[in-house]
Structure 1
Amino acid sequence: MGVKGLQSFMDRCCPEACVTVNLREMARQHVAKGQQGCTTTTNINSPTLVVDGMACLRHWYSCKDWVCGGQWREYMDVLKSWVEAFTSAGIRLVFFFDGVVEEQKRQEWVKRRRRVNREVSKIFRHMKAHGEQPGRELFCLPSCLATFTCFALRSLGQEVFCSVQEADYEIASYARKHSSMGILGQDSDFIIYDSAPYLSVAKLRINSLTTVLYDRQRLCRTVGLAVNQLPLLACLLGNDVVSEERMQHIRNDAMATYRINNPTPHSGAPQGQMVLAVSHLVSSLWGREEEETGLIPQSLNLSAPHRELLKRGICSYLLPGQEACQRRDISAPTSGPAFEKHVSPEVLKTCREKHVAADGFMVYSIVCEGVTDCSNTLEDEEDAELLPQALVYKLCRQHIYGLLLLHGHDGSSVDLPAIREWFVYPGNPLQEPDMVHPVPIGLSCGQPSLDLLWFGTGTEISALRLMSFLSIFDCQEFSELYGAIEDSLLAALCLVTYIVLQVPTLSQEDLDAYLSQAVCLRLKSPQELQQIKLPFLCSRAVQLGSLYVRGLSHLLGANCASGYPLPSAALMPWHSFDGRLFHSKYLLAHSGTEKTVLLDSDSSCLSLFLCLKEKLTETCRRRGRVLQSRPSAPEESHQTTPGPRYRERHTGGPPGGGGSWRERGETTAGHRHGGGWRERGEARGDRSEYENRERGGGMRGGQHFHPQPDSYPKCHDGGQENTSRTPKQSRGRSCHSRGRYQLAPRWSQPPAPGT
């Protein structure tokens, strides 16, 4: 959220309310005063700063490269230094991240996504014209930065929360309840909340720990309002709940009255005059109607719907203990289906706990709300040959939904749950969500119980978790590699295999780039990764990099749904991906570089690479997917308009897989060529299609491959092997009767990331 023009008004027209503060000194003063009224006994003497994590992402990600998918190891170093700057000053940090998009704010979310889409188009046009990354004026955060930052901060020992409602509201509530020394963020709503002091992260100087405090008391003195009148001011100016357009007539009347009473123009900007005009209106209304409850004076010229909207906006700022109305009563109810009947009460409780602790991903929104969303990704809308990530990972998500919701389902279409997906991709106008049905995972023992996966104990359950996870990506054969290679490499192999199976235009060279960078990354320091020189940027490689990182987030969701067969730390991008390294490997692979050079002339890396590639290609071959070699000439890789040779090399595919994804009908909206699934009234990969595959009618769903003990050789890479493993003879071998296993009282989980 944010109040239109309020913070710029304070910066330009109310400098006395913008106070430069030293956070070290502020912390000392906070300790000296004590934390009077704190409702908790923990950390009662520690000065606490509540951090709006979403607002900090652009300031944290200061790495030079951002367009190639992220320099994740360097980013980890930045986060570590940032946290240490505060902890060395004795300041405790508590981080909050957005966990949901409230339905009443969905349209504002859609507007922002469309705006970013236009910026993404400019980024790709710049890269194709110049072969280089654009300047910071077109800066776009790497995909999934917020998701992985939560895990990164937890691995650094920080307290991290993921919101279950509007994050700003939870931040302000926490800060007020715990008498925190301040809120660090970049949102003018924190001026409106009657909570802890609002400190600007944009003006933070990390070396000196100085920033600007926006003082709401001084603002009120300047504009002639009381603190409890600020919510009405915010809604009349416009915010995420009450749009500017809905209150335009009120502001017009206020401005007309202000100009009559103040014939000498204010020295500030026009928006400054607007803030003053609306402030005078609010003040005058309150003076005449002191009997009002503090919400909306009756004399305001409002229709009944506008009055209700304004009430909802005002109440969104009222924190616990301040409410004149209950926030839950004025918040728009979620419109999703109730999925309680599909899961046990213990599963619901655990979903929420994991979500709030930023220790899960995707599961809470699916099980508890029936909705999931995904923001913008660096995807070239003019490239009709690469599938958008939302479509690439759709089947994976359907399998996750199936694992979460279909256990115990009789397989009929009656009462089958559907998830509302709000995913941003080329051709999707975001006018409505895509309704996506779950698909069962392909285990020979049938759909496992979620309670068994999450709370069961024993080696057989561990094997079942692993097989469930691998089945989501159609990689059951890789169970033999568990323990033979690092967990992060196993996860990378599953992800690349899935991408190859889902994207028919992927080539041998693309595969080599993916696998070589995953293998070589383990031997690179952050400094070495920063020093990688790229002769130019290829827009296709940029999109493939973002596709991979989005896939890592789906690995997280699958791992969480399966009961954590792999430690979360193994799925973090700093263990398996670096944007600059991937881009360099892509350019080398497509230029025909020898495999020895591609693997940095390291024999152990080359051996591991060849082993992984053999497993992948054999798995794909069994599913009818044969990769072809289609190198692109380096000098043609960043043409503004790809020539015939470039397009021939990039767009060819295996038999039956040619043509653009739009021409194949693999889109949910917008571009229509050749009768896509929406015209047929079904979703790509919908339930009926995959039911046929489960019965043996299709290559992927109906094939249950059971690896033999000696199917694969060991793939030791010379590094340290994983310990504390399930005994090898039980890995992925069988799925026995559920009745043999006992349930543990709590979620069976791995060590926290970073341990």
Structure 2
Amino acid sequence: MGVRGLQGFVGSACPHICTVADFRELAGRHRSRHPGSTPTLVVDAMCCLRYWYTPESWVCGGQWREYFSALREFVRAFATAGIKLVFFFDGTVEQHKRDVWVKRRLKNNREIARVFHHVKSRREQPGRSMFFIPSGLAIFTRFALKSLGQETLCSLQEADYEVASYGLRHHCLGILGEDTDYLIYNTCPYFSISEFCLETLKTVMLCRDKLCESLDLHLTDLPLLSCLLGNDIVPEGVFESFRYRCLCAYTSVKGNADRKGSVILAVADHIAKVLRLHRGQKRLEDMLPLGPHRALFYKGMASYLLPGQNSPWFFQKPQGVAALDKQVAFVCPDPGSQQEVPASTEPESQQGVLVSTDSAPRQDTATCADLASKQGAPLSSDLESKQEVPTCTDPDSQREMPVSADAGSKQETPMSIDPAAEQDIAACAGPCPKPEVLACADLEPMQGIPACADPASVQNLPAGADPELEPEAPVKQADFMGMDPEVKQQALVADPDILEVCRRPPVPSVCLSGYRRARCWVCPGAGKQVARTRHVRAETYLVYNIMSGGEIECSNTLEDALDQALPSQAFVFRPVRQRVYSLLLGPGADGARTCPAVKEWFVYAGNPLKQPDLVRPLPISIPGGMPSLRSLWLDQGPQVEAQRLDALLACFDLSSAREELQAVEGPFQALCCLLMYLFVQVDTLCLEDLHAFIAQALCLPGKSTVQLEDLEPDYIDSRAVQLGSLLVRGLTTLVLVNGACGSPWLLSDLMPWNVFDGKLFHQKYLQAEKGYSVEALLEQNRSRLSRFQALKSAVCKACAQENRRISSRQPWRSHHTGRWGRQESSSHRTSSGHSRSSTGQSWREQGGPTEALLGRDRAYLVCTEALPPLGVIWT
């Protein structure tokens, strides 16, 4: 994450870059200079998860009540100092980051294997050096912060870009996180979360001005340095030989080959003394060994340019069309122009960037010194006062957006586009023709660009939607050019009032509001945009990703790859996800029998993650028929509330258990639904497991945070570790389904700090395994006994309807034959067929060659009665 080697370089070779900062002093200075303005700190939440998770126990599934208390103290400390916090969470994985994401997931698999080896050999939790954040921590953190009254946003593209852009646009105190990319962005000051002290509200500020001074660079040189060193876009190996030549030349002059950070110093020296010397006389690609990585390099450079910013390092417009990651970067083919080039080389970044040949470096955005005077004042100077930037009115949001202040710039719009394209901008607000799949050569560069900005769309927002959020978060679009033919030709969403379908050809777009748009299946500028608004406001999980891109992912879970009894959560909850796909995507746009397949990047044992699993939606049977998303999400009334619950139960294939669920107390209905599904699906779960799950949920409300913290299980059982993670992943699945169905249940009933505690569950699990009575599990509390019996009875009845008998622990643990892995030769798979509940078979009883072929997806056999459409691989 971030620039290769820069963090270590700053800490060892340039410690003066790090300066102690006191947030209380910074906030006071801001209020004195800007009366009536609230000092705001934008927080990269994904960088802070490890800092926030302070409970000692982490392997049992998460100490959620303790974690919630830690978050509350964090928020309270800033509120006391009068500082507003705005939290950003990753809402998607962009295509150019997929390889990095996969490498980290595979590395995490190895770390998890070490954790389980330690647990099984020593029957204790590993030390903090092997710490692995509990499953679902990022998902539930966003809901925890919202419940604490904090402004919580979910990104629609690369989160660090949105964080940097938000901090610059809103004149924030700074960015709190742990990513060296924030040293490269020309935005507000960057503060380290790893050095943060909650008691004193002090941390370390990493000053990009001092970094530039140490390296003899300008702020506009930092993106070039980042790409030459290697980052998440430009792989480290691309410029390895170039860095070696720079190092040889540098050390021959300095005579100190052992100097720390010499590679960074050498590259910076080459930029300052060689590249900058010839800038304006030679093209950048003539001075650098770009070769086949030319488009990738420009894409990496452009990714650091925030709205309204330029780069002096683009000299001449690259020729023609550069294809990258199966997406198209359109550039002007005029070789004679030396003024500006739309560096649209970032297919996922959704921003058109103006670049110029202005040889004088421009520093017209926030720095860590006095941002108003640009004098490079020390830390005591005002960090908040920023240079005024020309603005233009955004017709979509009626808000002012920054534009380039470069006098030489030909454009007065926030996003610089080709001048010829300005005449052809058209809003996608009305009916459009059916989508067409066009080859790259069929598209005129930057012609007929749909400006996805409907001025009326703000008025059309549903109740509760915040129009201020619409222009602040760029839309994450799908990799349209890389989709399967079947997917390209079908609209994902049947109801345009929920997520307006864009039927224009898949061409690059430039939004009038100044935000980057890429090619996708939807036009975000029209319609009510309910899914998008709820996604941005962190009110749902995965719903918008499914509807807008047809691609989702799930990170690592604490699962033992060597366990032979329990299936991976990726397969246990896949049937639910498949029915959610059917609910969200509906029938094909042409009335076809099937919906588009969804790409799933889920981590499980044996999955090399070379390709996503292609998962086809399953038919969903809802009493009274399939309701529209408009009805589920926007309508009100008792009948609609009943429809929402029917849809949710249908996703879990538990429609027949509605009466049993309604007999359960409200706060425990969601948990009961999850337990019903788990025990129907996984026949290796036993009666003792059910007792432990129910007992810990009933005892949890009576425990204080201190009591939970003091709990100490006798030992750590690896199976209980997996069961804890399985339940928590089930709760995240409940959040997905609840959001897709219009929220029939309160989100608070789905939050783990209300229904689950890792150590408490572990204690109850060990007690149940030792044969403790129900009364002992309930801690001799008779008032809990009736609720226990009601929950147990509901789960057992639901299982009995599916011919699933929950028995006490049997010797199956010792003779189970083996855990199924992913054995098929192709990494593409499409799941379809029948659920276990419709066949009465357990996931272990569907043996035979077909089962071995499909791996551990025990609930779905390939449907051989119909051939798949073109573009989808069936196994």
TM-score (ref. length: structure 2): 0.72
What does residue 247 of structure 1 align with?
A: 239
- Give, in angstroms, the shift of residue 384 of structure 1: 2.0
What does residue 711 of structure 2 align with?
A: 532
1:60 counterpart (44, 52, 55): 52
Report the secondary structure of 2:539's partner residue: coil
Indicate if the aligned counterparts of 1:422 and 1:430 stay in contact, CA closer than 8 A. Answer: yes
1:299 counterpart (263, 266, 287): 287
2:298 counterpart (311, 321, 330): 311
Alignment of 1:662 with 2:782, yes or no, is: no
**Separation of aligned partners in 1, 2:799 and 2:129:** 42
**Separation of aligned partners in 1, 2:235 and 2:583:** 40
In the TM superposition, what whole-angstrom CA distance separates every residue of 1:396-436 from its partner, at most 9, and x where no partner exists?
A: 1101111111258798546x310000000111110100000
- Give, in angstroms, the shift of residue 561 of structure 1: 0.7
1:351 counterpart (495, 506, 531): 531
What does residue 5 of structure 1 align with?
A: 5
What does residue 619 of structure 2 align with?
A: 440
1:361 counterpart (541, 559, 583): 541
Indicate if the aligned counterparts of 1:667 and 1:676 stay in contact, CA closer than 8 A. Answer: no
Indicate if the aligned counterparts of 1:254 and 1:277 stay in contact, CA closer than 8 A. Answer: yes
What does residue 645 of structure 1 align with?
A: none
What does residue 347 of structure 2 align with?
A: 331
1:140 counterpart (106, 114, 132): 132
Q: Do the aligned partners of residues 323 and 504 (structure 1) sit closer, same or farther apart at CA in structure 2, a change above 3 Å counting?
A: farther
1:202 counterpart (188, 194, 203): 194
Indicate if the aligned counterparts of 2:215 and 2:268 stay in contact, CA closer than 8 A. Answer: yes
Report the secondary structure of 1:99's partner residue: coil
- Give, in angstroms, the shift of residue 520 of structure 1: 1.7
1:379 counterpart (555, 559, 563): 559
Indicate if the aligned counterparts of 2:652 and 2:677 stay in contact, CA closer than 8 A. Answer: yes
Indicate if the aligned counterparts of 1:428 and 1:668 stay in contact, CA closer than 8 A. Answer: no
Report the secondary structure of 2:702's partner residue: coil
What does residue 269 of structure 2 align with?
A: 280
Task: Tell which has more relative contact order, 1 or 2 (C-alpha 8 A, sep 6+).
Answer: 1
**Separation of aligned partners in 2, 1:31 and 1:261:** 49
**Separation of aligned partners in 2, 1:688 and 1:410:** 24
In the TM superposition, what whole-angstrom CA distance separates every residue of 1:468-505 from its partner, at most 9, and x where no partner exists?
A: 11111122244335665443310001111111111121
Indicate if the aligned counterparts of 2:48 and 2:177 stay in contact, CA closer than 8 A. Answer: yes
**Separation of aligned partners in 2, 1:176 and 1:455:** 35
Alignment of 1:558 with 2:734, yes or no, is: no
The one-letter code of the counterpart of 2:288 is L
What does residue 183 of structure 1 align with?
A: 175
Q: Do the aligned partners of residues 27 and 502 (structure 1) sit closer, same or farther apart at CA in structure 2, a change above 3 Å counting?
A: same
Q: Do the aligned partners of residues 522 and 533 (structure 1) sit closer, same or farther apart at CA in structure 2, a change above 3 Å counting?
A: same
- Give, in angstroms, the shift of residue 383 of structure 1: 0.5
- Give, in angstroms, the shift of residue 72 of structure 1: 0.6
What does residue 417 of structure 1 align with?
A: 596
Q: Do the aligned partners of residues 225 and 373 (structure 1) sit closer, same or farther apart at CA in structure 2, a change above 3 Å counting?
A: same
**Separation of aligned partners in 1, 2:163 and 2:539:** 18
- Give, in angstroms, the shift of residue 252 of structure 1: 1.1
In the TM superposition, what whole-angstrom CA distance separates every residue of 1:28-69 from its partner, at most 9, and x where no partner exists?
A: 12223339xxxxxxxx61111100000000000000110001
What does residue 809 of structure 2 align with?
A: 630
**Separation of aligned partners in 1, 2:803 and 2:344:** 52
Indicate if the aligned counterparts of 1:379 and 1:543 stay in contact, CA closer than 8 A. Answer: yes
Q: Which stretch shifts more, 473-482 or 220-229?
A: 473-482
What does residue 23 of structure 2 align with?
A: 23
Alignment of 1:483-562 (within 5 A): 484-562=663-741
After superposition, the CA RMSD in angstroms is: 2.7
- Give, in angstroms, the shift of residue 458 of structure 1: 2.1
Q: Do the aligned partners of residues 666 and 389 (structure 1) sit closer, same or farther apart at CA in structure 2, a change above 3 Å counting?
A: farther
Q: Which runs of 5+ in 1 are unaligned?
A: 36-43, 632-647, 653-657, 693-755
Indicate if the aligned counterparts of 1:318 and 1:327 stay in contact, CA closer than 8 A. Answer: no
Alignment of 1:675 with 2:849, yes or no, is: yes
In the TM superposition, what whole-angstrom CA distance separates every residue of 1:12-40 from its partner, at most 9, and x where no partner exists?
A: 111221101111111112223339xxxxx
**Separation of aligned partners in 1, 2:154 and 2:821:** 40
Report the secondary structure of 1:96's partner residue: strand
The one-letter code of the counterpart of 2:644 is R
The one-letter code of the counterpart of 1:279 is A
**Separation of aligned partners in 1, 2:187 and 2:284:** 22
Alignment of 1:115 with 2:115, yes or no, is: no
- Give, in angstroms, the shift of residue 456 of structure 1: 2.2
What does residue 582 of structure 2 align with?
A: 402
The one-letter code of the counterpart of 2:299 is R
**Separation of aligned partners in 1, 2:116 and 2:207:** 41
1:619 counterpart (781, 798, 808): 798
What does residue 37 of structure 2 align with?
A: 45
**Separation of aligned partners in 2, 1:531 and 1:297:** 62
What does residue 78 of structure 2 align with?
A: 86
Report the secondary structure of 1:150's partner residue: helix
- Give, in angstroms, the shift of residue 264 of structure 1: 3.0
**Separation of aligned partners in 1, 2:691 and 2:18:** 54
What does residue 706 of structure 1 align with?
A: none
Identity across the alignment (%): 43
Q: Which stretch shifts more, 5-14 or 339-348?
A: 339-348
In the TM superposition, what whole-angstrom CA distance separates every residue of 1:691-742 from its partner, at most 9, and x where no partner exists?
A: 99xxxxxxxxxxxxxxxxxxxxxxxxxxxxxxxxxxxxxxxxxxxxxxxxxx
In the TM superposition, what whole-angstrom CA distance separates every residue of 1:88-139 from its partner, at most 9, and x where no partner exists?
A: 1111100000000001110000000011110000000000010000001110
**Separation of aligned partners in 1, 2:825 and 2:117:** 22
Report the secondary structure of 2:570's partner residue: helix
**Separation of aligned partners in 2, 1:291 and 1:410:** 54
Report the secondary structure of 2:639's partner residue: helix
The one-letter code of the counterpart of 1:284 is K
Report the secondary structure of 2:641's partner residue: helix
Report the secondary structure of 1:401's partner residue: helix
Q: Do the aligned partners of residues 311 and 670 (structure 1) sit closer, same or farther apart at CA in structure 2, a change above 3 Å counting?
A: closer
Q: Do the aligned partners of residues 296 and 290 (structure 1) sit closer, same or farther apart at CA in structure 2, a change above 3 Å counting?
A: closer
Q: Do the aligned partners of residues 691 and 533 (structure 1) sit closer, same or farther apart at CA in structure 2, a change above 3 Å counting?
A: farther
Q: Which stretch shifts more, 673-682 or 81-90?
A: 673-682
The answer to which structure has the higher helix fraction is: 1
What does residue 642 of structure 1 align with?
A: none
TM-score (ref. length: structure 1): 0.83
**Separation of aligned partners in 2, 1:259 and 1:19:** 29
Q: Do the aligned partners of residues 45 and 488 (structure 1) sit closer, same or farther apart at CA in structure 2, a change above 3 Å counting?
A: same
Q: Do the aligned partners of residues 247 and 83 (structure 1) sit closer, same or farther apart at CA in structure 2, a change above 3 Å counting?
A: same
Indicate if the aligned counterparts of 2:62 and 2:758 stay in contact, CA closer than 8 A. Answer: yes
**Separation of aligned partners in 2, 1:63 and 1:302:** 48
Indicate if the aligned counterparts of 2:165 and 2:187 stay in contact, CA closer than 8 A. Answer: yes
**Separation of aligned partners in 1, 2:573 and 2:156:** 25
2:65 counterpart (68, 73, 92): 73
